[in-house]
Structure 1
Amino acid sequence: MTSLFQQKVIGVSLFAVAALCQKASAQSSLSLIGLSSFQSSGPSWKLAGDVSADLSQNNVLQTTPGTGVLVNLPSQQIHGADLLTNFQHGDLDLELDYMMAKGSNSGIYLQGRYELQLLDSWGVKSPKYSDNGGIYERWDESRGKGLEGYEGYAPRQNVSRAPGLWQHLKVSFQAPRFDGAGKKIENAKILRIELNGVTIHENVELFGPTRGSMGREAALGPLRIQGDHGAVAFKNVNIKNFDKPRPELSDVKYSVYKGKFEAEPDFAKLKPEAEGTLAALSLNVKNKLNGEGLIRYTGNLQVKESGTYQFNLNVSGGGGLLQINNQTVIPTGGRSGEIALPAGNLPFELLFAKSASWDRSALGLTVAGSAIRDFLLSEAAIAGPGVDPILVDAPSNTILRSFMDIPGGPRVVHAVNVGSAEQLHYTYDMDKGAIVQQWRGGFLDATPMWHERGDGSSRPLGTVQRFGKPVLAIARLSSAQADWPEDTAATGFQPKGYDLDEVNRPIFNYSIYSSMVSDIIRVVNNGQGLQREINIQNPGENLYVRLAEGKTIEARPNGTYLIDDKSYYLQINDAGGAEPVIREKNGRKELIVPVKNKVSYSILF
């Protein structure tokens, strides 16, 4: 007898299931030591060790010698050409970092036919299909003048970063399907696109090639990078190519048994309430389980290529058991299992026992393997009741206080979240006088705070730039190399709340080292970042402001710094004539500046 049927998983999405199976796909990194991964490249393409942009010049990237970064530098003298990979792909997961020059335009064509737009869209408030992260439009001149373009898809929100900053792109693509005669039977699909940590597209059907396609649709095609428009750079290009045949279920039969089942029964001694056949695994059977009971599914799993396969079973209202080729893959109460299967027609058995008569029944079974993206063997994924999210917009200057959890760091218990109509927002820690994070896009997900009893916390909705563990913005140091204090001990720090200006923007106030401080934070024009001004009344000696910390801090012209491997810019506007100091502490860099009465700087990202 097996263990008790005792499993309950509600509201699990297919993408959450996918996270359990990442090792199932064949992943490779695109070599950027040379250009051998690509078909013949034009003179505008080169490799570099590093790259940076100039915020004051259009279409300019500066490079340093080396490898690891792929750069396109077209100009009036050097005509750019598209770059195509040597390999062809069908279903694909693509992950990479890219950098745009100021005002630059490029794109990535999946299979050489479906363009994902890359553009300097920094500060754009209402993005279109032609903005960064958009799925470019199709084109048909026979539709008439002004109507040629159609079926372009804008990103859900603009989460683009500034020129010269690395942006992170993740794409899951499903290729079109064709029958034996070459007729298309299923359109291509964007399963998901994530830009800078935010989902901007999901389940978008592509009815045909986008404008500028290299040709008619087919099952395979190369990756193609647009090279004739603007300067762009790429690094850390990772490919997961899903090109193996999928296992298929056939001859699915079911039997329904009523009653309470705490263990796997002897089916030879039971008479089913109903029996039948199914085209796919489904709870849509005769004599459905409204109360306690069990459904037994049997059939064959056609495995076209031997290998190791991962199965994930998600049920609501009870538990399940999966056996393939007369071996237990997922025991009762389990969620996932892995098994080595030979090629062939293998016996399949799945048990679903409903033990919670009050709960809604749901069933989902996925499978993945080497170079096979996880996919549903059942009729539908888990369809539990879920929770409607509680989202807070910021159509004007908005303040919401909550707890704020910093990944890998503390919970900020006196967090003030400040939103703006420019879609640039930030969190301020009242206990430290510090900016904890800033983000672009939507404002806040308040579901954890307000759903049922809640836990008091909220979460940013956009792409987030965090600034490390919160520490005091101001400290008294014996020298420019002295350690920054970890807490407020001996500082006399006392928060004094905040005032609101004429348009409801906060001015934070606190006292420290017997000096009064006002901390004014404003959104830069077009939501391109934050400008901060710290004013100190009756300042004492040896006061410093910590402006930034990160793995790297690189000084650039005109008082500008690139922070943490080009994650954001920091621009000093007014340091009162003081000289900033870049120093190293505990393997990290810090940017500090001595301060008398005032320091002003901007954080651009």
Structure 2
Amino acid sequence: MIKLSRMARFGGLMGIGWTLSTGLLTAQPAPTPGIPLTLNDLSAFKPAAAHWRVVGAVRADLNKPNTLIIDKGTGIVVAQPTPAKPGQPTDPKASLFTTFDHGDVDVELDYLLASKSNSGVYLQGRYEVQLFDSWDIRTPKTIDNGSIYERWDPKRGEGRYGYDGHPARQNASRAPGLWQHLKISFQAPRFNANGQKTQNARMVRVELNGVVIHEDVELTGPTRAAAFDDEKPTGPLMLQGDHGPVAFRNIRYVSYDKPRPELRDLKYAVYKGKYEKEPQYDKTAPESEGTSTILSSSVSRIPNEFLIRYTGTLRVSEPGEYRFNLGVPGGGGLLKINNQQLIGPGQWNGSGKATLPKGDLPFELMYTKFVDWTKPALGLTVAGPGIREYVISDQNGGDGEETDPIVVDAPTSTVLRSFMDMPGEKNAQGGTLRITHAVSVGSPDIVHYTYDLDKGALAQVWRGAFLDATPMWHDRGDGSSRPRGMVQRLGAPVLFLTQLASTQMAWPTDTTGSGFRPKGYALDASDLPTFRYQSFGASVDDKIRVLPEGQGVRREVTITNPASNLYARLASGMRISALENGLYVIDDQHYVRIDDLGGAKPTVRESNGRQELIVPVKGKVVYSILF
């Protein structure tokens, strides 16, 4: 049974390169690269305890809690603390503090946790995004990975000490020993000239492993175990190092500490009529005109077929390159600054950039609306040197209509057929690869997968929410759905089984010569599918099941009458490393565990600049994907 629900809509301003709003969209500028922290040594940080060091490689043993295995080199900073004894005070140098202080900031980094480990990233040393081994968690709490940790006050009474914590929307975590990616967009608290706080700090947006887990969360004060009890306009970035082993790499940040441009002396004129190009203003009388303090489409009382022209001054305090996004549904827009045309007429959503000097610069904006089935809206965003993208109008603009997303939950075993796009994989025409016979299987254990019926291939697995079916069912639809959780894609789908005259032969990219014939799937008593097909004269049953505690999936492929020289490909990646107990790590993003190969020995081989984990087939192949 498919259960449909409605996704919550969240507003608020996003960091550079992130969507501004679910319903009203503007074109986005390219993400700002940010300033990297040098990790050749610890010079980017204040002096710290000896358990912090710089290394070249790190991994975790899934069977050994709080253990990281390191190797010499640079590029990774690691904490391997000794657990504190009960009642022992925390060493003030146990955590790592950057030498720079920040206010508004975007931070992006990779981190790796040992099994059962606990750490955190503290903005300004005060507000924590929790890092925790939450591999087996279904519903995150404030202690879990990616959550905003709670505040703490013993004066509140027994059972009420913790408050104002914010659990992650869903569990988007990877397994311990795998690198995870965190993006934080933070807004610092505001203070007046007397030092009194006028606005609380905010987590504008937090993204874990490609999944948005927080948007526009207000922080009323420092979270528990913060380095400072007070609040200030700035503070250092803090990496917690007194709770458990953790590693960090690829740390980058963008500070937003420059004054925003200001619109001044705005005047508007509204012209009635269907203007598909800019009129001669000196020969056309306006329907109405006046002054305004903000850009808005509401100055026109005409619902359709009108033109609004704004003129004024843009005061720029910080010279440099600025990027603008303009949204004007139902017609077209134009933007000129300092007598330069940045966005041309005729676009509902347009973007442009210009290098602007300091000073008061001439400003002109035009919005002409002539399509009657959209509502009027005018949105303009600005981003510049040291200035986070913000809305300088009364709304974001866009298409004037919100699409209420259609989502599919999986409270029980749920099977949905659709098209499935594979970002990062190309089709023959150079576009994004689309699986046309995809079957997505959802589980109440919040681990799901997509199977390609055309190839007998497991295409992707993911943890968290199940599917967004909006592209498939909204309006005319395009037949596709997309995962809503943390996705581990397994490469472009290819045949799981093929014949190889030698282990040096390339794995085929299509089914030519294989005799591949899909036979659909059969559901068991729990509505779990077993996929069936014929290939190279053999009959194949392919059964995929979620592992206990949602740690991944177990795949059992039974081959009846296997052909000679038949091989299975278990994994492909840029780097495959053998670990202990039949475990392999693939590109530091997921594990493959060998469960039963009927005595056959797997091989890691080089092929077309990549590596493949293959095994000769003797009748049954059983392995697990842990992620």
Length-normalised TM-score, structure 1: 0.94
Task: Give the CA deviation at 1:392.
Answer: 0.7
The residue that corresponds to 1:247 in the other structure is: 261
Task: Give the CA deviation at 1:486.
Answer: 2.6
Task: Give the CA deviation at 1:136.
Answer: 0.8
Task: Give the CA deviation at 1:520.
Answer: 1.3
Give secondary structure in 1 for the equivalent of 2:328. Answer: strand
Please tell me whether the aligned partners of residues 309 and 369 of structure 1 are also in contact (alpha carbons under 8 angstroms): yes
Task: Give the CA deviation at 1:451.
Answer: 1.8
* Equivalent in 345, 349, 352 of residue 332 of structure 1: 345
Please tell me whether the aligned partners of residues 289 and 354 of structure 1 are also in contact (alpha carbons under 8 angstroms): no
* Equivalent in 46, 53, 56 of residue 49 of structure 1: 56
* Equivalent in 358, 379, 400 of residue 343 of structure 1: 358
The residue that corresponds to 1:402 in the other structure is: 418
Q: Are 1:38 and 2:45 an aligned pair?
A: yes
Please tell me whether the aligned partners of residues 27 and 351 of structure 2 are also in contact (alpha carbons under 8 angstroms): no
Aligned letter for 1:348? F
Q: Distance in 1 between matches of 2:275 and 2:516?
A: 63
* Equivalent in 584, 596, 601 of residue 618 of structure 2: 596
The residue that corresponds to 1:140 in the other structure is: 153
The residue that corresponds to 2:446 in the other structure is: 423
Q: Distance in 2 between matches of 1:82 and 1:142?
A: 27
Task: Give the CA deviation at 1:258.
Answer: 1.8
Please tell me whether the aligned partners of residues 382 and 390 of structure 2 are also in contact (alpha carbons under 8 angstroms): yes
Give secondary structure in 1 for the equivalent of 2:345. Answer: coil
Alpha-carbon displacement from aligned partner over 1:494-519 (angstroms, at most 9, x marks no partner): 22221111211111112222222211
The residue that corresponds to 1:8 in the other structure is: none
The residue that corresponds to 1:5 in the other structure is: none
**More moved, 588-597 vs 309-318:** 309-318
Aligned letter for 1:551? M
- Aligned CA distance change for structure 1 residues 488 and 270 (closer, same or farther; 3 Å): closer
The residue that corresponds to 1:218 in the other structure is: 232
Give secondary structure in 2 for the equivalent of 1:449. Answer: helix
Q: Are 1:267 and 2:289 an aligned pair?
A: no
The residue that corresponds to 2:14 in the other structure is: none
Please tell me whether the aligned partners of residues 436 and 470 of structure 1 are also in contact (alpha carbons under 8 angstroms): yes
The residue that corresponds to 1:58 in the other structure is: 65
Please tell me whether the aligned partners of residues 326 and 397 of structure 2 are also in contact (alpha carbons under 8 angstroms): no
Q: Are 1:75 and 2:82 an aligned pair?
A: yes
Give secondary structure in 2 for the equivalent of 1:448. Answer: helix
The residue that corresponds to 1:9 in the other structure is: none
- Aligned CA distance change for structure 1 residues 499 and 204 (closer, same or farther; 3 Å): same
Give secondary structure in 2 for the equivalent of 1:406. Answer: strand
Give secondary structure in 2 for the equivalent of 1:284. Answer: helix
Q: Distance in 1 between matches of 2:176 and 2:586?
A: 14
The residue that corresponds to 1:163 in the other structure is: 176
Q: Distance in 2 between matches of 1:84 and 1:501?
A: 54
Alpha-carbon displacement from aligned partner over 1:434-486 (angstroms, at most 9, x marks no partner): 11111111111112222222222211111111111111111122222222233
- Aligned CA distance change for structure 1 residues 358 and 546 (closer, same or farther; 3 Å): closer
Please tell me whether the aligned partners of residues 322 and 331 of structure 1 are also in contact (alpha carbons under 8 angstroms): yes
- Aligned CA distance change for structure 1 residues 324 and 514 (closer, same or farther; 3 Å): closer
* Equivalent in 491, 497, 503 of residue 514 of structure 2: 491
Residue identity (%): 56
Task: Give the CA deviation at 1:253.
Answer: 2.7
Please tell me whether the aligned partners of residues 83 and 242 of structure 2 are also in contact (alpha carbons under 8 angstroms): no
* Equivalent in 344, 360, 374 of residue 359 of structure 1: 374
The residue that corresponds to 2:28 in the other structure is: 19
Q: Distance in 1 between matches of 2:371 and 2:508?
A: 55
* Equivalent in 574, 578, 586 of residue 596 of structure 2: 574
* Equivalent in 242, 246, 264 of residue 228 of structure 1: 242
**More moved, 217-226 vs 242-251:** 242-251
Aligned letter for 2:289? E
* Equivalent in 436, 458, 466 of residue 459 of structure 2: 436
Q: Distance in 2 between matches of 1:306 and 1:454?
A: 45
Task: Give the CA deviation at 1:309.
Answer: 1.7
Task: Give the CA deviation at 1:177.
Answer: 1.8
**More moved, 366-375 vs 83-92:** 366-375
Q: Are 1:374 and 2:389 an aligned pair?
A: yes
The residue that corresponds to 2:6 in the other structure is: none
- Aligned CA distance change for structure 1 residues 341 and 537 (closer, same or farther; 3 Å): closer
* Equivalent in 540, 545, 549 of residue 517 of structure 1: 540
- Aligned CA distance change for structure 1 residues 77 and 255 (closer, same or farther; 3 Å): closer
Q: Distance in 1 between matches of 2:559 and 2:254?
A: 54
The residue that corresponds to 2:480 in the other structure is: 457
Aligned letter for 2:102? H
Alpha-carbon displacement from aligned partner over 1:362-397 (angstroms, at most 9, x marks no partner): 101111111211111111112621322111111111
Aligned letter for 2:574? K
- Aligned CA distance change for structure 1 residues 548 and 252 (closer, same or farther; 3 Å): same
Instruction: Give the total of aligned pairs.
Output: 590
Q: Are 1:113 and 2:126 an aligned pair?
A: yes
Q: Are 1:387 and 2:391 an aligned pair?
A: no
- What pairs with 1:534-553 in structure 2 (closer than 5 Å)? 534-553=557-576
The residue that corresponds to 1:507 in the other structure is: 530
Q: Distance in 1 between matches of 2:28 and 2:72?
A: 38
Please tell me whether the aligned partners of residues 583 and 593 of structure 2 are also in contact (alpha carbons under 8 angstroms): yes
Alpha-carbon displacement from aligned partner over 1:511-542 (angstroms, at most 9, x marks no partner): 22222221111110011101111112222322
Aligned letter for 1:438? V
Task: Give the CA deviation at 1:224.
Answer: 0.5
* Equivalent in 280, 286, 290 of residue 303 of structure 2: 290
* Equivalent in 287, 305, 311 of residue 318 of structure 2: 305
Please tell me whether the aligned partners of residues 291 and 358 of structure 1 are also in contact (alpha carbons under 8 angstroms): no
Aligned letter for 1:350? L
Q: Distance in 2 between matches of 1:155 and 1:18?
A: 27
Task: Give the CA deviation at 1:18.
Answer: 7.0
Give secondary structure in 1 for the equivalent of 2:472. Answer: helix
**More moved, 362-371 vs 68-77:** 68-77
**More moved, 184-193 vs 217-226:** 184-193
- Aligned CA distance change for structure 1 residues 549 and 347 (closer, same or farther; 3 Å): same
Alpha-carbon displacement from aligned partner over 1:16-72 (angstroms, at most 9, x marks no partner): 64731534xx72111100100000111110111000001001100000000001101
Aligned letter for 2:165? G
Please tell me whether the aligned partners of residues 83 and 243 of structure 2 are also in contact (alpha carbons under 8 angstroms): no
* Equivalent in 213, 238, 241 of residue 200 of structure 1: 213
- Aligned CA distance change for structure 1 residues 404 and 266 (closer, same or farther; 3 Å): closer
Give secondary structure in 1 for the equivalent of 2:70. Answer: strand
**More moved, 153-162 vs 207-216:** 207-216
- Aligned CA distance change for structure 1 residues 14 and 310 (closer, same or farther; 3 Å): farther
Task: Give the CA deviation at 1:187.
Answer: 1.9
Please tell me whether the aligned partners of residues 406 and 473 of structure 2 are also in contact (alpha carbons under 8 angstroms): yes
Q: Distance in 2 between matches of 1:545 and 1:339?
A: 54
Aligned letter for 1:344? G
Q: Are 1:94 and 2:104 an aligned pair?
A: no
Structure 2: gaps spanning 5 or more residues: 1-18, 86-90, 427-432
Give secondary structure in 1 for the equivalent of 2:297. Answer: coil
Task: Give the CA deviation at 1:185.
Answer: 2.0
The residue that corresponds to 1:586 in the other structure is: 608
Q: Distance in 2 between matches of 1:304 and 1:598?
A: 69
Alpha-carbon displacement from aligned partner over 1:94-121 (angstroms, at most 9, x marks no partner): 1111101000000000011110000000
Structure 1: gaps spanning 5 or more residues: 1-11
Q: Are 1:472 and 2:524 an aligned pair?
A: no
Q: Distance in 1 between matches of 2:509 and 2:320?
A: 53
Task: Give the CA deviation at 1:173.
Answer: 1.1
Give secondary structure in 2 for the equivalent of 1:38. Answer: coil
Q: Distance in 1 between matches of 2:83 and 2:322?
A: 53
Task: Give the CA deviation at 1:76.
Answer: 4.2
The residue that corresponds to 1:174 in the other structure is: 187
The residue that corresponds to 1:151 in the other structure is: 164
The residue that corresponds to 1:412 in the other structure is: 435
Aligned letter for 1:84? F
The residue that corresponds to 1:4 in the other structure is: none
**More moved, 248-257 vs 592-601:** 248-257
Q: Distance in 1 between matches of 2:83 and 2:391?
A: 51
Alpha-carbon displacement from aligned partner over 1:227-283 (angstroms, at most 9, x marks no partner): 110000011111111121111122323222222334333434444333333232122
